[in-house]
Amino acid sequence: MEIAVLTKGVPDFREGQVSFDEDGHLERGKTPTVMNPNDKFALRAALQTKVRHGGNVTLCSMGPPGYDNILEEGMRDVYADDLVLVSDREFAAADTWATAITLTTALEHMETEPDVVFAGFKTADGETGHTGPQTCWGLDRPILTHVISLDIEPENDVVRAKRLVEGDVDEIETVEAPLPCVVVTDPEFEPTYRRAEHRLELKDLREQTKARAENYEDHLTMWNHEELNLDPDFVGLDGSPTIVSSVDPIPKAPSEREATMVTPDDEEGMEQVLEEMTPFAGGD
């Protein structure tokens, strides 16, 4: 099977990692970039598919040249075979629509059409959840969203999946779609390897990927707008109908408790700490 996974680098939103300018705009150049957390569920679904059915996995991302480290991480996680980075200044400041157009073109530009395209639920920076479905629209394929488990019958060109109904963890439905299709995984997705042969295959793939990831550049293809025959008027900022008026910094969570500093030479303070902690120690 031919499998593709869409992934993205996002700012590291852990406290102390995010940098904003005086106008409250995110300074991406001063903020570390990590793989979008929700994309890791898509990677796991792709790996499960490769283990069960074999085939080739290609990771695809749009971003600056530095995103190759995100793809390297993805290669190690999903034991990918090939990496594709769509990178060009003309793609800068794209909204989800312009991004989807670019990714759709990249997927269509691949030597072999993917049977399944996996995408994460949403990104940690924009959180719109639009790119996967919009790319699916561009490919003119059926889509399965909020997928928490799936199985594929390549001989029948069918994907069967369990999905959350409107994201409700208490309501699950079983659906199917013909191949080729797009699958958007939910954070509740869990891969399964019940058969011994699948667990052995997983072990073999892990060993093979260690060597491949050491020289990931040899498996990386980069395309710009000219190589994809994309009109700059329809990608990047010029091709983005979305207008962002401002970005609000993530507020720091309020402290829910007060802390009192106690030093070893504070006898009264130490006695109070001992008195409060003794019941939890299970001592006399």
Report the pLDDT value the prediction gives residue 143, as an integer from 0 to 100: 97
Scored b (16 or more CB within 10 A) or e, 31-53 reads bebbbbebbbbbbbbbbbbbbbb
Report the pLDDT value the prediction gives residue 32, as an integer from 0 to 100: 78
Report the pLDDT value the prediction gives residue 211, as an integer from 0 to 100: 84
Mean of pLDDT over the chain: 87
> Would the pLDDT of 255 be above 70?
no
DSSP code of residue 38: T
Scored b (16 or more CB within 10 A) or e, 75-107 reads bbbbbbbbbbbbbbebbeebbbbbbbbbbbbbb
SS3 (DSSP) at 16: coil
Report the pLDDT value the prediction gives residue 10, as an integer from 0 to 100: 87
Taking alpha carbons only, the member of 127, 137, 66, 126 closest to residue 101 is 137
Give mean pLDDT, residues 277-284.
62
Report the pLDDT value the prediction gives residue 20, as an integer from 0 to 100: 65
Specify the higher pLDDT residue, 183 or 124: 183
d(Cα 115, Cα 54) in Å, to the nearest integer? 12
Confidence of residue 251 (pLDDT cuts 50, 70, 90): low
Give mean pLDDT, residues 142-170.
91
> Would the pLDDT of 160 be above 50?
yes
Report the pLDDT value the prediction gives residue 157, as an integer from 0 to 100: 96
Give mean pLDDT, residues 28-52.
88
> Would the pLDDT of 79 be above 80?
yes
> Would the pLDDT of 13 be above 80?
no
Report the pLDDT value the prediction gives residue 25, as an integer from 0 to 100: 55
d(Cα 264, Cα 281) in Å, to the nearest integer? 19
User: Model confidence over 191-248: pLDDT tens digits?
Assistant: 999 999 999 999 999 888 888 888 999 999 999 999 999 999 999 989 999 876 666 6
Confidence of residue 284 (pLDDT cuts 50, 70, 90): very low
> Would the pLDDT of 27 be above 70?
no
Confidence of residue 17 (pLDDT cuts 50, 70, 90): low
CB contact set of 34 (below 8 Å; sequence gap of 6+):
9, 10, 11, 12, 70
Give mean pLDDT, residues 148-164.
95
